Chains A and B, each alone.
Chain A
């Protein structure tokens, strides 16, 4: 029984991490209708930044998690740069171009990191010194709850932001009709930049929570995680903020439960299988609405 509880606990944590990553993905897709393949690599950027800045914080006598603010700035900057240099020129060239360019940026970031930081994995210092409690025979790390809490908090904050603020409304107008948005005075370029900045900044937060559970950083940590988080976003409903949270939790739980109870070697295949099934049956995801194509 305690194994089951432990699995649920671990699954929720894993899910919360996926959810944090998925939030960034879904936000960018919701506004820009593009899958930013490089999003996972922004996580990697955030993680490596944490690797260098967390000890810096400690040496100044401050709690290591403050380093996340620096990571947010770095990630947001990288995101905006990538958008300006690579995505903007191909914005109107069709979805294929956007996808390929995103792929290229993903490769670029990973290989740049390889060149800069070398191939050896780096271990980030302990970010949170939170207690661990026992719950029904399972070990529950308090930081897991923190991950979940941060995820929910961001989800609520984003939803409120997008619904209530003027900027948020402008952000929602852009994917509906870009030309119309321009005509009513929305500076689409600025909106896109801000979207990327927020999305990439979120990646830094996700990186912090990820490294608090899995302190090891490698240059390729981003791409696979990115794909899994993307699966989570699609499952919940791509472009829908609560969907990222929902999808993330479900994917995390299923992964851990399959790993423990069904077949340890196959758990990744199950995650990918979920994606295929969702896209074939209901591509708009759990919380999504169907829209057809006009002839």
Chain B
């Protein structure tokens, strides 16, 4: 049995929409609309992409599974350093850039995923406040470890990483990651994880192996954080462990909550917007986090689900409305 026609149409629509978006950006950059600042804006766009991946993967944990992590930057750093060590080791072998880039991403993702399993198994027995603090603890231990190892720079900047992160590649990596996460959520796996969030005791009583699913989701979330870290490393070309600190993790969590816990759309738009913001607000840089924290408090008080709540954007729905077709109930896709 193939997929229902309506859903097939929606998928194609989304794909076409994404390609169009890409072409727009491609043309804008290639036509030198920004002149000498084109590289600068490409940089912002790249930053937005890996931030989107970070925020979306954290949302998987916080919004869908309903558990806290204030150590997400720790997984990012594992991905960043693992991929950087990998590409440095292959520096002399002439591997085509694109292949090297993809391999670096996979290495980063897998390294972070392995860390995710190690951290997840003991940690996920805890809940709420305690889980949050333990994630901070693990992230700090990772940071201390990287500060002490020579291969990661021994506490100083690790520089000389190949600049493999080209915006056009990164864009599609981001699209792939978000798509995979979205499809995962809209499947029996996402459904089960959401059930765990709602009531883990009832989930156990319904046959769900809660510990297994928690660890798996945690690992998947870490995997994507690792990919984002790999992109980061090969964009910044230099990094230091203290960049991946508690403040950075807190920033991601803030973006998840403001964008909307449980909404991939919220994560994408929120992350894109909030990463472009620092650049737009250059002069107000010191007020940025101040503003974030105020917005966060306001959201917690007035709109705890975040700006987008659990709402997801659907191009199909938009087209339906425009063409006047009636929509029935909830669409399954």
Q: In their complex, do chains A and B touch, with some C-beta pair under 8 Å?
A: yes
Chain A residues in the interface with B (C-beta under 8 A): 34-35, 85-86, 89-90, 93, 95-97, 99-101, 103-105, 107-108, 110-112, 114-115, 220, 223-224, 227, 230-231, 234, 265-266, 268-269, 272-273, 275-276, 279-280, 283, 295
Q: Across the interface, which residues of B come within 8 angstroms of A115, CB to CB?
A: 286-287, 290
Q: Which of B128, B290, B294 has the most CB of A within 10 A?
A: B290
Q: Are B144 and A268 in contact (CB under 8 A)?
A: yes
Q: Separation in Å of the A105 CB from the closest CB of chain B?
A: 7
Given A90-B301, A266-B144, A272-B138; A100-B290 close (CB under 8 Å): no
Q: Across the interface, which residues of A come within 8 angstroms of B138, CB to CB?
A: 272, 276
Q: Are B286 and A99 in contact (CB under 8 A)?
A: no
Q: Are B126 and A103 in contact (CB under 8 A)?
A: no
Q: Are A276 and B122 in contact (CB under 8 A)?
A: yes
Query: Number of B residues contacting the other chain (C-beta, 8 Å)?
Result: 42
Taken together as a complex, chains A and B put the C-alpha atoms of A105 and B300 apart, in Å, by 11
Q: Which of A103, A230, A231, A273 has the most CB of B within 10 A?
A: A103
Given A35-B129, A96-B128; A107-B293 close (CB under 8 Å): yes
Q: Are B300 and A93 in contact (CB under 8 A)?
A: yes
Q: Are B133 and A265 in contact (CB under 8 A)?
A: no
Q: Separation in Å of the A35 CB from the closest CB of chain B?
A: 5
Main secondary structure of the interface of A (DSSP, over half): helix
Q: Would you list which residues of chain B between 286 and 316 have a CB under 8 Å from chain A? A: 286-287, 289-290, 292-294, 296-297, 300-301, 304
Q: Are B129 and A269 in contact (CB under 8 A)?
A: no
B10 at the interface (CB under 8 A from A): no
> Hey, what's the 0/1 contact readout for B118-159 against A, CB within 8 Å counting as 1?
000011011011101110111011001101100000010000
Q: Are A95 and B129 in contact (CB under 8 A)?
A: yes
Residue of B nearest to A90 (CB): B300
Q: Are A99 and B68 in contact (CB under 8 A)?
A: yes
Taken together as a complex, chains A and B put the C-alpha atoms of A104 and B128 apart, in Å, by 16
Q: Across the interface, which residues of B come within 8 angstroms of A224, CB to CB?
A: 246
